[in-house]
Amino acid sequence: MTAITDVVNLDKEGEIAVLSINNPPVNALGIAVRQGIADGVTAACKDEGVTAIVIICQGRTFMAGADITKFGKPPREPGLGRVLEIIESSRKPIIAAIHGTAFGGGLETALTCHFRVAVDSARLGLPEVKLGLLPGAGGTQRLPRVVGVEKALKMITSGNPIGAKEALEDGLLDEIIKGDLLSGAVAFAETILSEKRPMLRVSEMNEKVEAARGKPEIFENFRKSIARKTRGFNAPEACVKTVEAAVNMAFGEGLKFERQQFEILMKGPQSAAQRYAFFAEREVRKIPDIPKDTPLHDIRKAAVIGAGTMGGGITMNFINVGIPVTLIEQRKDLLERGMGVIRKNYDISAARGRLTPKEVEERMSLVTGSVSIEEVADADIVIEAVYENMDLKKEIFSKLDRICKQDAILASNTSYLDVNEIADHTSRPESVVGLHFFSPANVMRLLEIVRGKKTSKSVIASSMALAKRINKIAVVVGVCHGFVGNRMFSQRTRETDQLILEGPMPPQVDKVIYDFGFPMGPFVLRDLIGLDIGWRKETSTGSTIREVLCELDRRGQKTGAGYYKYEAGSRIPIWDPEVEKLIFEFSEKNNIPRGEISGKEIIERSIYPIVNEGAKILEEGIANRPSDIDVIWLNGYGWPIYLGGPMFWADQVGLENILVTLKKFQERFGDLWKPAPLLERLVKEGKGFKDL
Ligand code: T1G
């Protein structure tokens, strides 16, 4: 065995050279890997005793792409493009032996090999678009030549991988290896040599791209099909253009065009934001005072108290990954309704082909309903998901304290109540934690892990590990009203409610927020989730537009009208002159002068309070780092990922600009707008949130 670099070794199995990469954690294509591949392939090609070369990786995966941590730093030779030229121009066949995730530059490397084999659990993809980029080492030119233009467009603009079986069907793999990958790949090499199978250079395979030549409709139709989903993003269109170049240009020209488009994206603000978000979503798992080797609770069985919308959705998260759940309700009819909703959700997935009927039954078999809370005695974790009433929660936690086994985790799904107060109502506050799921709980990836004063480190670490198991992105937050996300969100709601009294009507505010990049504006959103959340008829006094609308039974889409009106069966909001009149009258009755308010002021008054509240949350220690707050907003509130998150975005706007504006509004509207001391300090020190 010859060490080519400290992460690449060259070995021989008979006449087959084996170039093995070992660059944990994901064999990213850093300089030592690139240099090792270039030198290793060159050495093997010179070695007369070598007739073919296998490229394989140690550890969890084949190369998962370029080293993103090095982006923005001066490039070091050999660049990936040069390394891939060396591979593709080899006169001896080179076989990529794939396991794990051949992503990005890893798949681009495999595409320059002459053959590709993989184990059946392997996944292959070009996820660069998720980083605001495009495949920059020939992926946009080679993938369409193998799988065809339409499939390549889908894979490159979605960034989603395909499995080995599909890759084999698409011609992206030559064989699926059963058993040991290395020996299977060596045997495959020997086979193609003995059969004298022709070596194929993907860059010379033009049939599939030529077949699309002169058919611009392929690209126009595809652009239309992704328009809604990619609104505001720059990278998807660049991906389409470069695949179009693969069809209309010679390979070399197409490669140059790809490089040019890649550089534009790499230097652009969107990729910086999306790469920031990528690392933020990994950083969030690191909790400052909890060591990586903290002992974890063994969670094999769960229980959920409450079979309502949240309880049902939470239950699905567990049974989706094979963790059985005991679902508790107080009455049989409520339990049956809850179980029915779970089954209906799965039937919809099955109807869409996402699940087989067998998988539906397997998952349903994992949930056991009961009206007796005693049934949770053997659960390793119990999640209370009843409505937001502190007395009821305390009553339930007292029972859980009596019933549950000693090392059970007792969690509340409360979205804003005091977890410490709940914990102190038990004899085991160290076992109590908040697990704030976002509705719909079986869809939204965000989970706020609410850490009580006495919650043990092991319960926090176990909750974080559980989150990854149930495919959630979890953020540890402290106890305060609304924790992090809802506390910040309520600032925006306060301001947008005020704005419509002063000038813009809901459609204008909604458009500004939608154009900023959110999936929908605040009033359309309120109609969707229901105006009456937290509203009580008995205590309503018509003191806000929302209360007035609820009192008129205009509670949102579910009643056919809220801020907007909706035709039967339609979700399309139609502005209602009735509400316009009602708002005008409300302003008049409350002596609130109305006038023109610019889109810029709408943004400042809707978004800057979010940033200011985030700064307060940081100085109170309710969130561990600014990027944790951004992860919450990216995954729970639809903040556009190409803007990175409120704290990242605030740094781009400039904290000084934000501070000046906050002070201006403080003079106009009072201390609601008082800047957070942390914001003042950072501006004084010439720093940003990124420096925390
Ligand atoms: N570069 C550097 N570090 C990376 C990395 C990468 N490409 N991918 C992951 N890591 C780190 C990650 O930060 C974490 O570090 C650890 O590895 C485990 O990651 C030229 C330009 C491969 C599916 O976009 O999708 O190639 O927190 O927690 O859940 O065209 O990582 O432990 O210190 O995510 O098992 C294209 C991104 C790059 C793949 C594994 N490739 N990575 O998931 O582990 S651009 C990607 C992933 C490119 C070319 C272009 C996932 C994974 P730490 P993890 P995982």
**Which DSSP string corresponds to 73-101?**
SPP-SSPHHHHHHHHHT-SS-EEEEE-SE
Task: Find the 128 Cα to ligand 1 centroid distance in Å.
Answer: 11
Among 128, 244, 384, 448, which one carries the catalytic annotation? 128
The pLDDT value recorded for residue 596 is 94
Q: Which structural domains are found in the chain, ordered by start?
A: 2-260 (3.90.226.10), 268-288+485-503+596-621+624-692 (1.10.1040.50), 302-480 (3.40.50.720), 523-589 (1.10.1040.10)
- Ligand 1 atom, smallest distance to 61 CA: 22
The DSSP-derived string for 368-394 is EEES-GGGGGG-SEEEE---S-HHHHH
- Which of 233, 57, 245 shows the shortest CA–CA distance to 158? 233
E-assigned strand segments in 111-209: 115-119, 123-125, 162-163, 175-177
pLDDT band at 537 (very low <50, low <70, confident <90, very high): confident
pLDDT band at 532 (very low <50, low <70, confident <90, very high): confident
- Which of 577, 569, 564, 489 shows the shortest CA–CA distance to 527? 564
pLDDT band at 4 (very low <50, low <70, confident <90, very high): confident
- Ligand 1 atom, smallest distance to 126 CA: 36
- Ligand 1 atom, smallest distance to 69 CA: 2
Residue 635 has pLDDT above 80, yes or no: yes
pTM for this predicted structure = 0.94
The pLDDT value recorded for residue 176 is 98
Cα 367 to chain centroid distance, Å, stands at 27
For the chain, give the mean pLDDT. 96
In 10-159, which ranges are continuous DSSP H helix? Answer: 31-46, 80-88, 105-112, 139-147, 149-158
Read off the tokens for 90.
């080899």
Residue 358 has pLDDT above 90, yes or no: yes
**Known active-site residue 588:** no
Task: Report pLDDT digits (tens) over 462-484.
Answer: 999 999 999 999 999 999 999 99
Task: Report pLDDT digits (tens) over 484-498.
Answer: 999 999 999 999 999
Q: Rounded CA gap, 458 and 409, in Å?
A: 10
Give 10's strand partners. 2, 19
- Which of 612, 624, 596, 623 shows the shortest CA–CA distance to 655? 612
- Ligand 1 atom, smallest distance to 136 CA: 30
Phi, psi (5° rounding) for residue 292?
-60, -30
- Which of 650, 652, 608, 635 shows the shortest CA–CA distance to 277? 635
pLDDT band at 290 (very low <50, low <70, confident <90, very high): very high
Poorest-pLDDT segment among 4-13, 163-172, 622-631: 4-13
Based on DSSP, count helices (H) and strands (E) in the chain, helices before strands: 28, 20
Atom 23 of ligand 1: nearest residue by CA position: 101
Buried b (16+ CB within 10 A) or exposed e, 109-121: bbbbbbbbbbbee
Ligand 1 proximal residues by C-beta, below 6 Å: 25-26, 28, 61, 64-69, 80, 101, 103-105, 108, 127-128, 131, 133, 135-137, 139, 279, 282
The pLDDT value recorded for residue 72 is 84
**Residues 257 and 249 sit within 8 Å (Cβ to Cβ):** yes
Give 54's strand partners. 18, 95
**Known active-site residue 128:** yes
The pLDDT value recorded for residue 534 is 77
- Which of 133, 3, 141, 154 shows the shortest CA–CA distance to 71? 133
Atom 49 of ligand 1: nearest residue by CA position: 105
The pLDDT value recorded for residue 536 is 85
**Residues 254 and 242 sit within 8 Å (Cβ to Cβ):** yes
**Residues 455 and 423 sit within 8 Å (Cβ to Cβ):** yes
What's the rounded mean pLDDT across residues 66-77? 91
What's the rounded mean pLDDT across residues 415-428? 95
Rg (CA), the chain: 28
Helix 655-669 to helix 677-684 angle (10° resolution) is 140
Q: Rounded CA gap, 580 and 559, in Å?
A: 18
The pLDDT value recorded for residue 7 is 95
Read off the tokens for 414.
């409360």
Atom 41 of ligand 1: nearest residue by CA position: 65
Task: Report pLDDT digits (tens) over 318-355.
Answer: 999 999 999 999 999 999 999 999 999 999 999 999 99
Residue 219 has pLDDT above 80, yes or no: yes
**Residues 21 and 37 sit within 8 Å (Cβ to Cβ):** yes
The pLDDT value recorded for residue 652 is 97
What's the rounded mean pLDDT across residues 545-565? 94
Task: Report pLDDT digits (tens) over 608-629.
Answer: 999 999 999 999 999 999 999 9
The pLDDT value recorded for residue 233 is 98
Task: Find the 519 Cα to ligand 1 centroid distance in Å.
Answer: 27
The pLDDT value recorded for residue 535 is 84
536 vs 197, higher pLDDT: 197
Residue 1 has pLDDT above 90, yes or no: no
Task: Report pLDDT digits (tens) over 20-39.
Answer: 999 999 999 999 999 999 99
Which of 23, 26, 134, 265 best tests ligand 1's pocket when mutated (most atoms within 8 Å of CB)? 26
**Residues 641 and 632 sit within 8 Å (Cβ to Cβ):** no
Share of the chain above pLDDT 90, in %: 95
Residue 556 has pLDDT above 80, yes or no: yes
